[in-house]
Structure 1
Amino acid sequence: MKTVPILNLKGGVAKTSTAVNLAAILAGDYKKRVLLVDADSQCNTTEFFGGDPASGSLADVLRHEYDGGVYAVSCIQASNFPGVDLLAGDDSLMDLDLTKAETGTAKAAVLRDMALLLAEEDRYDVCIVDCPPAFNAASAAALAAADEVIIPIKLDAFSLRGMTNLLRQLANARTINPALRLSGILPTMWYRS
Protein backbone atom coordinates (compact mmCIF):
# COMPACT_ATOMS: atom_id res chain seq x y z
CA MET A 1 0.00 0.00 0.00
CA LYS A 2 1.34 3.41 -0.98
CA THR A 3 0.70 6.22 1.52
CA VAL A 4 0.39 9.73 0.06
CA PRO A 5 -0.29 12.79 2.22
CA ILE A 6 -1.73 15.87 0.52
CA LEU A 7 0.16 18.61 2.35
CA ASN A 8 0.68 22.34 2.32
CA LEU A 9 1.13 24.64 5.32
CA LYS A 10 -1.01 27.27 3.61
CA GLY A 11 -4.79 27.13 3.77
CA GLY A 12 -7.09 27.57 0.79
CA VAL A 13 -4.92 25.77 -1.75
CA ALA A 14 -7.35 22.87 -2.43
CA LYS A 15 -5.79 20.14 -0.26
CA THR A 16 -9.17 18.65 0.61
CA SER A 17 -10.47 19.00 -2.95
CA THR A 18 -7.35 17.24 -4.19
CA ALA A 19 -7.66 14.44 -1.61
CA VAL A 20 -11.36 13.70 -2.14
CA ASN A 21 -11.14 13.87 -5.93
CA LEU A 22 -7.99 11.76 -6.07
CA ALA A 23 -9.65 9.13 -3.84
CA ALA A 24 -12.83 9.11 -5.94
CA ILE A 25 -10.94 8.91 -9.25
CA LEU A 26 -8.63 6.12 -8.06
CA ALA A 27 -11.56 4.10 -6.70
CA GLY A 28 -14.15 4.88 -9.38
CA ASP A 29 -12.13 5.05 -12.58
CA TYR A 30 -9.14 2.85 -11.74
CA LYS A 31 -10.83 0.37 -9.35
CA LYS A 32 -8.17 0.92 -6.68
CA ARG A 33 -8.89 0.11 -3.03
CA VAL A 34 -8.49 3.45 -1.27
CA LEU A 35 -8.14 4.36 2.38
CA LEU A 36 -8.69 8.06 3.01
CA VAL A 37 -7.48 9.55 6.31
CA ASP A 38 -8.94 12.90 7.40
CA ALA A 39 -6.16 14.58 9.38
CA ASP A 40 -7.71 18.06 9.25
CA SER A 41 -9.72 19.25 12.25
CA GLN A 42 -12.18 20.98 9.88
CA CYS A 43 -13.29 17.43 8.91
CA ASN A 44 -14.55 18.32 5.44
CA THR A 45 -13.29 15.02 4.03
CA THR A 46 -15.14 13.09 6.74
CA GLU A 47 -18.32 15.05 6.06
CA PHE A 48 -18.02 14.66 2.29
CA PHE A 49 -17.65 10.87 2.49
CA GLY A 50 -20.32 10.41 5.19
CA GLY A 51 -17.94 9.40 7.98
CA ASP A 52 -18.87 9.10 11.64
CA PRO A 53 -16.12 10.23 14.04
CA ALA A 54 -18.02 8.60 16.91
CA SER A 55 -16.87 5.25 15.50
CA GLY A 56 -13.26 6.25 16.15
CA SER A 57 -11.37 9.22 14.76
CA LEU A 58 -7.77 10.00 13.93
CA ALA A 59 -7.54 12.00 17.18
CA ASP A 60 -8.65 8.91 19.10
CA VAL A 61 -6.00 6.89 17.27
CA LEU A 62 -3.25 9.42 18.01
CA ARG A 63 -4.19 9.40 21.73
CA HIS A 64 -4.58 5.63 22.04
CA GLU A 65 -1.96 3.59 23.86
CA TYR A 66 0.66 2.06 21.61
CA ASP A 67 -0.55 -1.20 20.09
CA GLY A 68 1.24 -1.37 16.74
CA GLY A 69 -1.64 0.20 14.79
CA VAL A 70 -4.31 -2.37 15.73
CA TYR A 71 -6.71 0.24 17.16
CA ALA A 72 -6.19 2.47 14.11
CA VAL A 73 -7.22 -0.37 11.79
CA SER A 74 -10.34 -0.99 13.91
CA CYS A 75 -11.42 2.65 13.44
CA ILE A 76 -11.55 2.41 9.63
CA GLN A 77 -15.10 2.62 8.29
CA ALA A 78 -16.81 2.32 4.93
CA SER A 79 -17.59 5.61 3.22
CA ASN A 80 -20.55 6.56 1.04
CA PHE A 81 -18.39 6.06 -2.08
CA PRO A 82 -17.67 2.51 -3.34
CA GLY A 83 -14.01 1.57 -3.03
CA VAL A 84 -13.15 4.29 -0.51
CA ASP A 85 -12.84 3.57 3.21
CA LEU A 86 -12.25 6.29 5.76
CA LEU A 87 -10.41 7.00 8.97
CA ALA A 88 -12.51 9.96 10.11
CA GLY A 89 -11.31 13.24 11.51
CA ASP A 90 -13.00 15.31 14.16
CA ASP A 91 -12.51 18.68 15.80
CA SER A 92 -10.69 17.14 18.76
CA LEU A 93 -7.61 17.08 16.51
CA MET A 94 -7.31 20.77 17.50
CA ASP A 95 -7.35 19.86 21.19
CA LEU A 96 -4.73 17.21 20.60
CA ASP A 97 -2.41 19.75 19.06
CA LEU A 98 -2.87 22.13 21.97
CA THR A 99 -1.96 19.49 24.55
CA LYS A 100 0.48 17.15 22.81
CA ALA A 101 3.61 19.04 23.83
CA GLU A 102 2.62 19.01 27.49
CA THR A 103 1.34 15.46 27.79
CA GLY A 104 3.21 13.58 25.07
CA THR A 105 -0.04 11.90 24.06
CA ALA A 106 0.30 12.02 20.27
CA LYS A 107 1.90 8.94 18.73
CA ALA A 108 3.56 10.00 15.48
CA ALA A 109 4.30 6.43 14.38
CA VAL A 110 0.71 5.17 14.61
CA LEU A 111 -0.21 5.76 10.95
CA ARG A 112 3.02 4.10 9.85
CA ASP A 113 2.18 1.09 12.03
CA MET A 114 -1.37 1.04 10.64
CA ALA A 115 -0.01 1.17 7.07
CA LEU A 116 2.31 -1.76 7.78
CA LEU A 117 -0.56 -3.84 9.17
CA LEU A 118 -2.79 -3.01 6.22
CA ALA A 119 -0.01 -3.81 3.75
CA GLU A 120 0.39 -7.26 5.34
CA GLU A 121 -3.37 -7.81 4.94
CA ASP A 122 -3.31 -6.38 1.38
CA ARG A 123 -6.54 -4.46 2.06
CA TYR A 124 -5.76 -1.25 0.13
CA ASP A 125 -3.75 -0.13 -2.84
CA VAL A 126 -3.32 3.44 -1.64
CA CYS A 127 -3.82 5.53 1.48
CA ILE A 128 -4.42 9.24 0.93
CA VAL A 129 -4.09 11.60 3.90
CA ASP A 130 -5.86 14.97 3.78
CA CYS A 131 -3.52 17.06 5.95
CA PRO A 132 -4.35 20.32 7.73
CA PRO A 133 -2.73 23.65 6.83
CA ALA A 134 -0.22 23.26 9.66
CA PHE A 135 2.71 21.14 10.69
CA ASN A 136 1.11 19.44 13.69
CA ALA A 137 0.68 15.99 15.26
CA ALA A 138 -1.54 14.71 12.44
CA SER A 139 0.81 16.01 9.73
CA ALA A 140 3.82 14.49 11.51
CA ALA A 141 2.03 11.13 11.69
CA ALA A 142 1.18 11.36 7.98
CA LEU A 143 4.79 12.12 7.02
CA ALA A 144 6.10 9.29 9.22
CA ALA A 145 3.89 6.88 7.24
CA ALA A 146 4.32 8.47 3.80
CA ASP A 147 5.93 7.03 0.74
CA GLU A 148 5.52 10.28 -1.16
CA VAL A 149 3.89 13.70 -0.74
CA ILE A 150 1.77 15.76 -3.11
CA ILE A 151 1.80 19.51 -2.53
CA PRO A 152 -1.18 21.39 -3.97
CA ILE A 153 -0.34 25.04 -4.48
CA LYS A 154 -2.06 28.21 -5.51
CA LEU A 155 0.25 30.14 -7.82
CA ASP A 156 0.56 33.43 -5.98
CA ALA A 157 3.39 35.21 -4.20
CA PHE A 158 2.39 34.17 -0.66
CA SER A 159 2.07 30.49 -1.56
CA LEU A 160 5.33 30.44 -3.48
CA ARG A 161 7.17 32.14 -0.59
CA GLY A 162 5.81 29.55 1.84
CA MET A 163 7.11 26.73 -0.33
CA THR A 164 10.66 27.22 0.97
CA ASN A 165 9.51 26.59 4.54
CA LEU A 166 7.47 23.55 3.50
CA LEU A 167 10.39 22.00 1.62
CA ARG A 168 12.58 22.56 4.71
CA GLN A 169 9.96 20.78 6.86
CA LEU A 170 9.93 17.84 4.43
CA ALA A 171 13.72 17.63 4.64
CA ASN A 172 13.42 17.55 8.44
CA ALA A 173 10.78 14.81 8.21
CA ARG A 174 13.28 12.64 6.34
CA THR A 175 15.18 12.21 9.61
CA ILE A 176 12.16 10.19 10.81
CA ASN A 177 11.23 8.70 7.44
CA PRO A 178 14.28 8.54 5.12
CA ALA A 179 12.19 7.00 2.30
CA LEU A 180 9.91 10.06 2.09
CA ARG A 181 9.91 11.68 -1.32
CA LEU A 182 8.16 14.54 -3.03
CA SER A 183 5.86 13.13 -5.71
CA GLY A 184 5.02 16.50 -7.14
CA ILE A 185 3.74 20.02 -6.77
CA LEU A 186 0.20 20.34 -8.10
CA PRO A 187 -0.90 23.81 -9.26
CA THR A 188 -4.56 24.08 -8.28
CA MET A 189 -5.28 27.76 -8.92
CA TRP A 190 -3.63 30.50 -10.91
CA TYR A 191 -4.44 33.98 -12.04
CA ARG A 192 -4.42 35.08 -15.65
CA SER A 193 -2.92 38.54 -15.99
Structure 2
Amino acid sequence: MKTLVTANQKGGVGKTATLVHIAFDFLERGLKVAVIDLDTQANASFTLKAFKSGLNASGLLSGQMQDYENASASSNGMTLIESDLGLANMEKMELKDAGGNFRAAIQMLSAAGYDVCLIDTAPSLGITMGAALLAADYVLSPIELEAYSIQGIKKMVTTIANIRKVNPALKFLGMVPSKVDGRNPRHSRHLAELTQAYPSLMVPTGIGLRSSIADALASGIPVWKINKTAARKASQEVRALAAHVYQVMEIK
Protein backbone atom coordinates (compact mmCIF):
# COMPACT_ATOMS: atom_id res chain seq x y z
CA MET A 1 0.00 0.00 0.00
CA LYS A 2 1.25 3.47 -0.90
CA THR A 3 0.49 6.39 1.44
CA LEU A 4 0.09 10.03 0.39
CA VAL A 5 -0.38 13.06 2.65
CA THR A 6 -1.68 16.43 1.48
CA ALA A 7 -0.21 19.08 3.72
CA ASN A 8 0.20 22.83 4.00
CA GLN A 9 0.27 24.91 7.15
CA LYS A 10 -1.86 27.55 5.41
CA GLY A 11 -5.60 26.88 5.21
CA GLY A 12 -7.88 27.60 2.26
CA VAL A 13 -5.36 26.56 -0.39
CA GLY A 14 -7.33 23.70 -1.96
CA LYS A 15 -5.70 20.93 0.05
CA THR A 16 -8.88 18.95 0.73
CA ALA A 17 -10.25 19.51 -2.77
CA THR A 18 -7.03 18.06 -4.16
CA LEU A 19 -7.11 15.01 -1.90
CA VAL A 20 -10.80 14.25 -2.51
CA HIS A 21 -10.42 14.39 -6.28
CA ILE A 22 -7.36 12.17 -6.21
CA ALA A 23 -9.40 9.72 -4.14
CA PHE A 24 -12.28 9.73 -6.64
CA ASP A 25 -9.87 9.31 -9.56
CA PHE A 26 -8.03 6.41 -7.91
CA LEU A 27 -11.36 4.76 -7.09
CA GLU A 28 -12.37 4.91 -10.74
CA ARG A 29 -9.05 3.28 -11.64
CA GLY A 30 -10.19 0.26 -9.63
CA LEU A 31 -7.97 0.85 -6.61
CA LYS A 32 -9.02 0.10 -3.04
CA VAL A 33 -8.72 3.49 -1.36
CA ALA A 34 -8.55 4.39 2.33
CA VAL A 35 -9.01 8.08 3.20
CA ILE A 36 -8.01 9.35 6.64
CA ASP A 37 -9.27 12.79 7.64
CA LEU A 38 -6.97 14.27 10.30
CA ASP A 39 -8.37 17.80 9.94
CA THR A 40 -10.80 18.83 12.68
CA GLN A 41 -12.64 20.96 10.10
CA ALA A 42 -13.79 17.60 8.67
CA ASN A 43 -14.27 18.88 5.12
CA ALA A 44 -13.08 15.63 3.52
CA SER A 45 -15.38 13.70 5.85
CA PHE A 46 -18.32 15.84 4.68
CA THR A 47 -17.64 15.33 0.98
CA LEU A 48 -16.90 11.60 1.31
CA LYS A 49 -19.67 10.80 3.80
CA ALA A 50 -21.07 8.16 1.43
CA PHE A 51 -17.95 6.10 2.21
CA LYS A 52 -18.15 6.32 6.03
CA SER A 53 -16.83 3.26 7.86
CA GLY A 54 -17.82 4.18 11.41
CA LEU A 55 -14.13 4.44 12.29
CA ASN A 56 -12.65 7.63 13.74
CA ALA A 57 -9.24 9.08 12.91
CA SER A 58 -8.20 9.86 16.50
CA GLY A 59 -7.92 6.14 17.28
CA LEU A 60 -5.12 5.82 14.75
CA LEU A 61 -3.03 8.28 16.73
CA SER A 62 -3.99 7.28 20.26
CA GLY A 63 -3.30 3.58 19.71
CA GLN A 64 -6.90 2.54 20.46
CA MET A 65 -7.17 0.52 17.31
CA GLN A 66 -9.13 -2.58 18.27
CA ASP A 67 -11.79 -1.86 15.65
CA TYR A 68 -9.30 -1.17 12.88
CA GLU A 69 -8.02 -4.72 12.50
CA ASN A 70 -11.07 -5.56 10.40
CA ALA A 71 -11.07 -2.34 8.39
CA SER A 72 -11.22 -4.14 5.08
CA ALA A 73 -12.02 -2.17 1.96
CA SER A 74 -15.74 -1.53 1.60
CA SER A 75 -17.74 -3.03 -1.23
CA ASN A 76 -17.68 0.29 -3.13
CA GLY A 77 -13.88 0.40 -3.03
CA MET A 78 -13.32 3.41 -0.75
CA THR A 79 -13.34 3.65 3.04
CA LEU A 80 -13.42 6.91 4.98
CA ILE A 81 -11.86 7.05 8.45
CA GLU A 82 -13.42 10.29 9.48
CA SER A 83 -12.42 13.31 11.50
CA ASP A 84 -13.70 13.38 15.08
CA LEU A 85 -13.53 15.61 18.14
CA GLY A 86 -10.85 13.42 19.70
CA LEU A 87 -8.32 14.78 17.21
CA ALA A 88 -8.12 18.01 19.22
CA ASN A 89 -6.62 16.05 22.14
CA MET A 90 -3.92 14.49 20.01
CA GLU A 91 -1.87 17.70 20.08
CA LYS A 92 -1.11 16.89 23.75
CA MET A 93 0.69 13.70 22.76
CA GLU A 94 4.40 13.32 22.13
CA LEU A 95 5.18 13.10 18.41
CA LYS A 96 7.17 9.91 18.99
CA ASP A 97 4.13 8.18 20.51
CA ALA A 98 1.57 9.51 18.02
CA GLY A 99 3.87 8.69 15.11
CA GLY A 100 4.49 5.15 16.32
CA ASN A 101 0.78 4.51 16.76
CA PHE A 102 -0.01 5.95 13.36
CA ARG A 103 2.65 3.83 11.66
CA ALA A 104 1.12 0.71 13.22
CA ALA A 105 -2.31 1.79 12.00
CA ILE A 106 -1.06 2.27 8.46
CA GLN A 107 0.41 -1.23 8.56
CA MET A 108 -3.01 -2.57 9.62
CA LEU A 109 -4.70 -0.84 6.69
CA SER A 110 -2.10 -2.25 4.33
CA ALA A 111 -2.74 -5.74 5.67
CA ALA A 112 -6.49 -5.17 5.19
CA GLY A 113 -6.01 -5.02 1.44
CA TYR A 114 -5.93 -1.35 0.50
CA ASP A 115 -3.87 -0.23 -2.50
CA VAL A 116 -3.49 3.37 -1.41
CA CYS A 117 -4.07 5.50 1.68
CA LEU A 118 -4.73 9.24 1.29
CA ILE A 119 -4.43 11.46 4.35
CA ASP A 120 -5.80 14.98 4.75
CA THR A 121 -4.17 17.07 7.48
CA ALA A 122 -5.01 20.19 9.44
CA PRO A 123 -3.42 23.48 8.27
CA SER A 124 -0.89 23.59 11.09
CA LEU A 125 2.52 22.08 11.79
CA GLY A 126 1.25 20.06 14.74
CA ILE A 127 1.36 16.52 16.10
CA THR A 128 -1.25 15.10 13.72
CA MET A 129 0.52 16.38 10.62
CA GLY A 130 3.88 15.26 11.99
CA ALA A 131 2.57 11.76 12.72
CA ALA A 132 1.11 11.48 9.22
CA LEU A 133 4.40 12.53 7.61
CA LEU A 134 6.35 10.08 9.74
CA ALA A 135 4.23 7.22 8.35
CA ALA A 136 3.83 8.38 4.75
CA ASP A 137 5.56 7.51 1.52
CA TYR A 138 4.66 10.76 -0.27
CA VAL A 139 3.55 14.30 0.52
CA LEU A 140 1.88 16.81 -1.79
CA SER A 141 1.41 20.51 -0.97
CA PRO A 142 -1.28 22.52 -2.75
CA ILE A 143 -0.42 26.21 -2.61
CA GLU A 144 -2.36 29.36 -3.35
CA LEU A 145 -0.42 32.00 -5.27
CA GLU A 146 -0.76 34.64 -2.55
CA ALA A 147 1.89 36.10 -0.23
CA TYR A 148 0.76 34.39 3.00
CA SER A 149 0.55 31.00 1.34
CA ILE A 150 4.00 31.38 -0.21
CA GLN A 151 5.43 32.38 3.15
CA GLY A 152 3.89 29.26 4.68
CA ILE A 153 5.24 26.89 2.05
CA LYS A 154 8.80 27.85 2.98
CA LYS A 155 8.17 26.51 6.49
CA MET A 156 6.48 23.45 5.00
CA VAL A 157 9.53 22.62 2.89
CA THR A 158 11.72 22.91 6.00
CA THR A 159 9.37 20.67 7.98
CA ILE A 160 9.43 17.99 5.30
CA ALA A 161 13.24 18.11 5.21
CA ASN A 162 13.34 17.63 9.00
CA ILE A 163 10.84 14.75 8.91
CA ARG A 164 12.91 13.02 6.24
CA LYS A 165 15.75 12.71 8.76
CA VAL A 166 13.49 10.28 10.66
CA ASN A 167 11.48 8.96 7.70
CA PRO A 168 13.95 8.93 4.80
CA ALA A 169 11.42 7.08 2.64
CA LEU A 170 9.21 10.20 2.50
CA LYS A 171 9.21 11.78 -0.95
CA PHE A 172 8.01 15.32 -1.58
CA LEU A 173 5.99 15.26 -4.79
CA GLY A 174 6.02 19.04 -4.83
CA MET A 175 3.74 22.06 -4.78
CA VAL A 176 0.48 22.24 -6.71
CA PRO A 177 -0.51 25.77 -7.78
CA SER A 178 -4.15 25.97 -6.69
CA LYS A 179 -6.98 28.45 -7.23
CA VAL A 180 -4.91 30.06 -9.97
CA ASP A 181 -6.46 33.11 -11.63
CA GLY A 182 -4.76 33.41 -15.00
CA ARG A 183 -6.00 37.00 -15.36
CA ASN A 184 -4.37 38.09 -12.11
CA PRO A 185 -0.86 39.48 -12.75
CA ARG A 186 0.04 38.87 -9.10
CA HIS A 187 -0.64 35.16 -9.51
CA SER A 188 1.49 35.04 -12.65
CA ARG A 189 4.32 36.84 -10.89
CA HIS A 190 4.18 34.60 -7.82
CA LEU A 191 4.09 31.46 -9.97
CA ALA A 192 7.21 32.63 -11.82
CA GLU A 193 8.95 33.40 -8.51
CA LEU A 194 8.12 29.97 -7.07
CA THR A 195 9.23 28.19 -10.23
CA GLN A 196 12.54 30.03 -10.10
CA ALA A 197 13.02 29.38 -6.37
CA TYR A 198 11.91 25.72 -6.42
CA PRO A 199 12.35 24.50 -10.01
CA SER A 200 12.29 20.82 -9.07
CA LEU A 201 9.43 21.11 -6.59
CA MET A 202 6.66 22.53 -8.78
CA VAL A 203 4.08 20.02 -9.99
CA PRO A 204 3.69 20.49 -13.76
CA THR A 205 -0.09 20.79 -13.62
CA GLY A 206 -2.06 23.33 -11.57
CA ILE A 207 -5.71 23.95 -10.69
CA GLY A 208 -7.50 27.11 -11.69
CA LEU A 209 -9.94 29.19 -9.67
CA ARG A 210 -13.04 27.12 -10.55
CA SER A 211 -16.42 27.49 -8.82
CA SER A 212 -17.43 24.09 -10.18
CA ILE A 213 -14.93 22.43 -7.83
CA ALA A 214 -16.72 23.92 -4.83
CA ASP A 215 -20.04 22.75 -6.30
CA ALA A 216 -18.66 19.23 -6.60
CA LEU A 217 -17.32 19.14 -3.05
CA ALA A 218 -20.65 20.32 -1.66
CA SER A 219 -22.46 17.60 -3.62
CA GLY A 220 -20.12 14.77 -2.63
CA ILE A 221 -19.09 14.02 -6.22
CA PRO A 222 -16.01 14.68 -8.37
CA VAL A 223 -16.07 17.76 -10.57
CA TRP A 224 -16.19 15.64 -13.75
CA LYS A 225 -19.70 14.57 -12.72
CA ILE A 226 -20.95 18.16 -12.56
CA ASN A 227 -23.18 18.62 -15.59
CA LYS A 228 -22.05 22.11 -16.51
CA THR A 229 -19.93 23.38 -19.37
CA ALA A 230 -17.90 25.41 -16.87
CA ALA A 231 -16.81 22.18 -15.15
CA ARG A 232 -14.96 20.84 -18.20
CA LYS A 233 -11.76 22.80 -17.69
CA ALA A 234 -11.70 21.99 -13.98
CA SER A 235 -12.22 18.32 -14.80
CA GLN A 236 -9.28 18.34 -17.21
CA GLU A 237 -7.04 19.98 -14.60
CA VAL A 238 -7.85 17.70 -11.67
CA ARG A 239 -7.70 14.59 -13.88
CA ALA A 240 -4.26 15.67 -15.11
CA LEU A 241 -3.07 16.20 -11.54
CA ALA A 242 -4.41 12.81 -10.41
CA ALA A 243 -2.76 11.11 -13.39
CA HIS A 244 0.56 12.76 -12.51
CA VAL A 245 0.31 11.66 -8.87
CA TYR A 246 -0.67 8.13 -9.90
CA GLN A 247 2.34 7.93 -12.18
CA VAL A 248 4.95 9.24 -9.75
CA MET A 249 3.59 7.10 -6.89
CA GLU A 250 4.12 4.06 -9.13
CA ILE A 251 0.93 2.40 -7.95
CA LYS A 252 0.43 -1.08 -9.35
TM-score by length of 2: 0.65
Larger Rg: 2
Supply the distance in 1 between the matched residues of 2:67 and 2:125 (Cα, whole angstroms).
Answer: 21
CA pair 157-149 structure 1, distance change in 2 beyond 3 A: same
Q: CA RMSD in A?
A: 2.5
| Contact 1:72 1:110 (8 Å CA) reproduced | no
Sort the Cα spacing of 1:184 and 1:25 in 2 relative to 1 into closer, same or farther, 3 A. Answer: same
Deviation at 1:120, TM superposition (A): 4.0
Q: Using the alignment, how far apart are the partners of 2:70 and 2:48 within structure 1?
A: 15
Q: How far apart, CA to CA, are the structure 2 residues paired with 1:132 and 1:60?
A: 16
Rounded Cα–Cα distance in structure 2 between residues aligned with 1:90 and 1:105: 21
Q: Please give the secondary structure, in 2, of the residue aligned with 1:107.
A: helix
SS of the aligned residue for 1:108 comes to helix
Structure 1: give runs of 5+ residues left out of the alignment: none
- Deviation, structure 1 residue 75: 7.6
Name the SS of the counterpart of 2:17 in structure 1: helix
Partner of 1:186: 176
Q: Distance in 1 between matches of 2:151 and 2:126?
A: 20
Equivalences for residues 117-132 of structure 1 within 5 A? 117-121=108-112, 123-132=113-122
TM-fit CA distance, 1:181: 1.1
- Matched residues in 2 for 1:15 and 1:77: separation? 26
- 1:90 aligns with 84
Counterpart residue number, 2:59: 60
- Tell me which of 165, 168, 175 is aligned to 1:175: 165
Q: Secondary structure at the match of 1:109?
A: helix
The answer to which structure has the higher helix fraction is 2
Written as runs of structure 1 = structure 2, the 5 A alignment for 1:125-140 is 125-140=115-130
Pair 1:7-2:7 in alignment: yes
Quote the Cα distance in structure 2 between the aligned partners of 1:75 and 1:47.
23
Q: 2:27 is matched with which residue?
A: 27
Residue 93 of structure 2 aligns to which amino acid in structure 1? K
Task: Give the equivalent residue in structure 1 for 2:93.
Answer: 100
Identify the residue that residue 68 of structure 2 maps to in structure 1: 73
Shift of 1:39: 0.6
Residue type of the alignment partner of 1:73: Y
Equivalent residues in 2 for 1:121-160 (5 A)? 121=112, 123-160=113-150
CA contact under 8 A between 1:7 and 1:130: conserved in structure 2?
A: yes
Q: C-alpha separation between the residues in 2 aligned to 1:39 and 1:71?
A: 19
Provide closer, same or farther for how the CA distance between residues 72 and 149 of structure 1 changes in structure 2, counting only shifts above 3 A: farther
> Could you tell me how far 1:76 is from its partner in structure 2?
4.1
User: Unaligned regions of 5+ residues in structure 2, if any?
Assistant: 186-252
For 1:46, the equivalent position in structure 2 comes to: 45
Kindly indicate whether the alpha-carbon contact (under 8 Å) linking 1:77 and 1:86 is maintained by their aligned counterparts in 2.
no
TM-score (norm 1): 0.83
Q: CA deviation at 1:77?
A: 7.6
